[in-house]
């Protein structure tokens, strides 16, 4: 049943996709309807042409019109290329296993992955990112570097054929500790997210969540085994959950992925909303994806005087500003004040009913005495001559341009959330991924501490299982006599 829901099955859209690709036309879809719009077919059509899909829940033009206009303008203005073809070359001993983010002829949502040697992209834009999974097909020599070259051939809007080349040289190491020390956490998150979502429509949502958690257990079990070997070959570490510094936020990202609309275990998530989330995460730039999973939240009423202001320096020609500290995404972080949160697609301004009256006036105007006086449909912060107003508007503009990646139409678009009053309070609470999801229909929604406890138990269970298997081993030719050596051996 799930496979049918998440697969393109309309022949009209398939024929239309063929025509659009042949003419190098990319389709961006903007969904504002509150009823079902068959995202499985329309979203697939957008994806195979190199386009994107955007959806607004409970769209209100007065509140969301600025955000919609901004996305449409961005879709028209952003740099575009046509007839793209990617070629990745790498040193002997490695080969391409899978591409993610590329159109294919598959009818499922996995039409965003490709096993072709040279993927073809009908339409390119500046926001697209592609993931390439490599695998060993030989042996790498640690005496030599490993070389990569990615070449993208495309046609610019003036009809000129161009090629863009990225060269990369990396050292080769046989020490697992080096891998953990230098691994790029954002790259790991992006690859696993896209690999997991590429199976939507092929496997059930519950199976995909299980596979994500199993990958997490495998990574940290391996790290614990390595740590035990380094600590003492004949003893184990104290009974604690240990993470490498390079991957210390990986559990938070994976918990957020489990709670995302794409993989959430909830009958309350509509198929269209789930598929929109899948399509967006498959195409999002890396920096936007990590904020989509774990949003940035700033406590406005506790910012320093120089936070969110342009740095006053003669050398600051690019207009850099000091970004304030982000708060953990848990209800325990919330106080009786104002918070600005960005999840990579929407900027929420959350206002507590007990917020200081002077702060409300400085942010929303002298006419505001209580939270009830704030218009819930305003789409931007008013321009006021107060210090906190200037800081808040700079911060919102920063989120709009650098996290969401769209231009501002006048002032940057926001959604006001009056805590406990507006229906948007539910959406804001969903962004607090370290807490339980605010829904009784969600069956698997642990808090972050509960998730870590479960992860710790799974790691310990796997370690003990491997140790028992090791004791049963009677093969004298098996020279790896410790659990750590068994897991780490290449």
Question: For residue 394, what pLDDT is reported?
Answer: 92
CA angle at 214 for the pair 213 and 220, rounded to the nearest 5°:
90
Confidence at 472, pLDDT banded by 50, 70, 90? low
d(CA 300, CA 391): 9
Average of per-residue pLDDT across 57-80:
89
Question: For residue 191, what pLDDT is reported?
Answer: 93
pLDDT in tens, 427-470: 999 999 999 887 655 555 899 999 999 999 998 888 887 777 75
Q: Say which residue the tokens 């449909």 belong to.
A: 377
- Burial degree of 358 (CB within 10 A; 0-12, 13-18, 19+): exposed
Question: For residue 196, what pLDDT is reported?
Answer: 92
d(CA 21, CA 116): 17
What are the beta bridge partners of residue 113? Answer: 100
Q: Which residue has the higher pLDDT, 220 or 7?
A: 220
Question: For residue 22, what pLDDT is reported?
Answer: 87
Please check whether residue 194 lies inside any domain of the structure. Answer: no
CA angle at 129 for the pair 25 and 163, rounded to the nearest 5°:
70
Asked whether residue 1 carries a pLDDT value surpassing 50, the answer given is: yes
Q: Are strands 94-100 and 113-114 parallel, antiparallel or unpaired?
A: antiparallel
Please check whether residue 311 lies inside any domain of the structure. Answer: yes
Question: For residue 401, what pLDDT is reported?
Answer: 87
Please check whether residue 355 lies inside any domain of the structure. Answer: yes
What b/e readout covers 268-301, taking b as 16+ CB neighbours within 10 angstroms?
ebeebbbbbbbbbbbbbeeebbbbbbbbbbbbbb
> Residue 232 has what DSSP assignment?
-
Question: For residue 368, what pLDDT is reported?
Answer: 94
What are the beta bridge partners of residue 162? Answer: 154
Name every residue whose Cβ is closer than 8 Å to that of residue 189 and which is 6 or more positions away in sequence.
250, 253, 254, 289, 290, 293
Average pLDDT of the chain is 85
Question: For residue 231, what pLDDT is reported?
Answer: 56
Asked whether residue 266 carries a pLDDT value surpassing 80, the answer given is: no
pLDDT in tens, 228-260: 766 555 455 567 788 889 999 999 999 999 999
Question: For residue 276, what pLDDT is reported?
Answer: 92
pTM of the predicted model as reported, rounded to 2 decimal places: 0.89
Please check whether residue 191 lies inside any domain of the structure. Answer: no
- The SS3 call for residue 233 is coil
d(CA 305, CA 362): 15
Neighbours of 103 (CB within 10 A): 23
List the domain range (segments joined by +) for residue 306: 295-430
Please check whether residue 78 lies inside any domain of the structure. Answer: no
pLDDT in tens, 135-187: 988 889 999 999 999 999 999 999 999 999 999 999 999 888 888 889 999 99
How many independent structural domains does the chain possess?
1
Please check whether residue 270 lies inside any domain of the structure. Answer: no
Confidence at 341, pLDDT banded by 50, 70, 90? very high
- The SS3 call for residue 157 is coil
d(CA 36, CA 13): 17
Strand order of the sheet with strand 80-90?
120-125, 80-90, 146-155, 161-170
Question: For residue 189, what pLDDT is reported?
Answer: 95
Confidence at 79, pLDDT banded by 50, 70, 90? confident
Question: For residue 2, what pLDDT is reported?
Answer: 62
CA trace torsion 391, 393, 399, 405 (10° rounding): -140
Question: For residue 31, what pLDDT is reported?
Answer: 94
pLDDT in tens, 342-390: 999 999 999 999 999 999 999 999 999 999 999 999 999 999 999 999 9
d(CA 92, CA 147): 9
Q: What is the CATH number of the domain that holds 381?
A: 3.40.20.10
Asked whether residue 100 carries a pLDDT value surpassing 90, the answer given is: no
Please check whether residue 226 lies inside any domain of the structure. Answer: no
Question: For residue 489, what pLDDT is reported?
Answer: 39
Asked whether residue 119 carries a pLDDT value surpassing 90, the answer given is: no
Please check whether residue 412 lies inside any domain of the structure. Answer: yes
pLDDT in tens, 290-332: 999 999 999 999 999 989 887 766 666 666 888 999 999 999 9
């Amino acid at each position: 049943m799930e496979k049918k829901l998440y697969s393109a099955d309309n022949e009209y859209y398939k024929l239309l996709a063929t025509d659009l690709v042949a003419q190098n036309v990319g389709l961006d879809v903007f969904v504002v309807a509150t009823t079902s719009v068959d995202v499985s077919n329309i979203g697939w059509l957008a994806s195979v042409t190199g386009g994107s899909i955007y959806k607004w829940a409970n769209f209100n033009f007065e509140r969301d019109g600025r955000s919609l206009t901004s996305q449409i303008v961005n879709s028209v203005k952003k740099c575009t290329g046509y007839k793209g073809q990617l070629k990745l070359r790498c040193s002997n001993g490695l080969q391409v296993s899978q591409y993610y983010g590329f159109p294919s002829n598959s009818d499922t949502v996995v039409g965003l992955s490709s096993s072709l040697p040279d993927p073809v992209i009908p339409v390119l834009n500046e926001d697209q990112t592609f993931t390439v999974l490599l695998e060993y097909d030989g042996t790498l020599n640690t005496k030599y570097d490993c070389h990569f070259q990615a070449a993208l051939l495309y046609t610019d809007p003036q009809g000129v054929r161009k090629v863009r080349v990225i060269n990369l040289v990396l050292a080769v190491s046989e020490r697992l500790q080096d891998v953990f020390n230098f691994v790029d956490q954002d790259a790991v998150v992006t690859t696993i997210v896209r690999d997991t979502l590429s199976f939507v429509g092929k496997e059930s949502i519950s199976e995909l969540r299980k596979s994500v958690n199993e990958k997490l257990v495998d990574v940290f079990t391996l790290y614990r085994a390595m740590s035990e070997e380094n600590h003492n070959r004949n003893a184990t570490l104290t009974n604690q959950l240990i993470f490498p510094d390079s991957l210390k936020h990986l559990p938070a990202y994976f918990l957020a992925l489990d709670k995302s609309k794409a993989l959430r275990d909830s009958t309350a998530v509509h198929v269209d909303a789930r598929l929109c989330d899948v399509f967006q995460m498959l195409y999002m730039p890396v920096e936007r994806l990590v904020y989509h999973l774990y949003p940035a939240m700033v406590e406005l009423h506790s910012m320093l005087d120089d936070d969110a202001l342009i740095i006053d320096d003669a050398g600051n020609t690019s207009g850099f500003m000091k970004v304030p500290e982000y708060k953990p995404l848990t209800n325990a972080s919330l106080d009786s004040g104002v918070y600005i949160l960005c999840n990579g697609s929407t900027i929420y301004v959350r206002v507590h009913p007990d917020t200081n009256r002077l702060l409300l006036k400085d942010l929303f105007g002298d006419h505001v005495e209580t939270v009830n006086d704030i218009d819930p449909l305003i789409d931007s912060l008013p321009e006021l001559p107060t210090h906190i107003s200037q800081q808040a508007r700079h911060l919102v503009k920063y989120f709009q341009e650098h996290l969401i990646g769209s231009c501002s139409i006048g002032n940057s678009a926001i959604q006001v959330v009056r805590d406990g009053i507006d229906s948007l309070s539910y959406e804001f609470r969903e962004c607090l991924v370290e807490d339980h999801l605010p829904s009784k229909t969600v069956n698997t929604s642990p808090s972050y501490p509960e998730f870590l406890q479960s992860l710790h138990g799974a790691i310990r269970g796997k370690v003990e299982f491997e140790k028992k298997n090791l004791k049963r081993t009677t093969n004298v030719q098996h020279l790896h006599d410790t659990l750590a050596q068994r897991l780490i051996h290449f």
